[in-house]
Amino acid sequence: MSLWSRTRNTVYREITATAMALFLERGFDATTIDDIAAAAGISRRSFFRYFGTKEDVVLGDLIASGDLVRQALEARPDDEEVWAALRNALHSVKDTAFDEPTMLKIFTMVHETPSLRARSIEKHLQWQALLTPEVRRRLGADPADPLDVRADALVATVITCLDVAGDAWTRCNGAVPLETLFDAAAAAVRSTP
């Protein structure tokens, strides 16, 4: 990685850390871009060199996480059942940037803030685009057949199970592990006649 890229990544992480501290202290809606820029020691214009919106500060790494899930899915054995491969890929990718209490605060903020919730759903659609080709391959689906919706349906269902588990995790204040809630949601979908 070049010096420029390393410097850019360092500044990106510093702005993100500063903004997240403000969001968790004041609330998402009560924190402005000007507040973030001032606390980070940058101009408003510099903020927009790194982030398109305030929501991107909170959810910017979600796409990167989707790419990690895709890589983990591609690394799963070809003979592994598709649901199991998706589950195992998701469970193998954990956010290590924050401790669990901080993650719970972030999840709560996302689930309670309409603009963050909407942006989160938009990012999950990008996850679907990342994961569907590998699921199509595993199902032996013709990539040129627009009527074979199996892979799209499976990936959309798994992402919905993840969202449902996240909602439940915030409601129970983290008392039950997120992975357990995801497994319960996925099992319910798979076992319902």
pLDDT band at 41 (very low <50, low <70, confident <90, very high): very high
Same domain for 68 and 146? yes
Same domain for 124 and 143? yes
Residues of the domain holding 140: 60-191
d(Cα 126, Cα 192) in Å, to the nearest integer? Answer: 27
**Nearest-5° angle of CA 21, CA 27, CA 30?**
110
Same domain for 178 and 102? yes
Same domain for 86 and 157? yes
Same domain for 44 and 64? no
Helix (H) or strand (E) holding 156: helix 150-171
Q: CB of 67 within 8 A of CB of 45?
A: no
| Model pLDDT for residues 3-12, shown as the tens digit of each residue | 888 888 899 9
Residue 163 phi, psi (nearest 5):
-65, -45
Asked if residue 62 has pLDDT above 80, the reply is no
Q: Which residue has the higher pLDDT, 4 or 58?
A: 58
Range 76-92 average pLDDT: 93
Number of domains the chain is built from? 2
Question: What residue has token string 């919730």?
Answer: 117
Ramachandran category for residue 12: left, alpha or beta (phi over 0 → left; psi -120 to 50 → alpha) = alpha
User: Residue 53 half-sphere exposure, CB side, CA atoms within 13 Å?
Assistant: 12
Asked if residue 95 has pLDDT above 70, the reply is no
Same domain for 91 and 139? yes
| Model pLDDT for residues 100-129, shown as the tens digit of each residue | 888 889 889 998 899 999 988 888 899 999
pLDDT band at 70 (very low <50, low <70, confident <90, very high): very high
Q: Which residue has the higher pLDDT, 132 or 123?
A: 132
CATH code for the domain in which residue 167 is found: 1.10.357.10
Mean pLDDT of the chain: 90
CATH code for the domain in which residue 15 is found: 1.10.10.60
Same domain for 14 and 76? no
Asked if residue 97 has pLDDT above 80, the reply is no
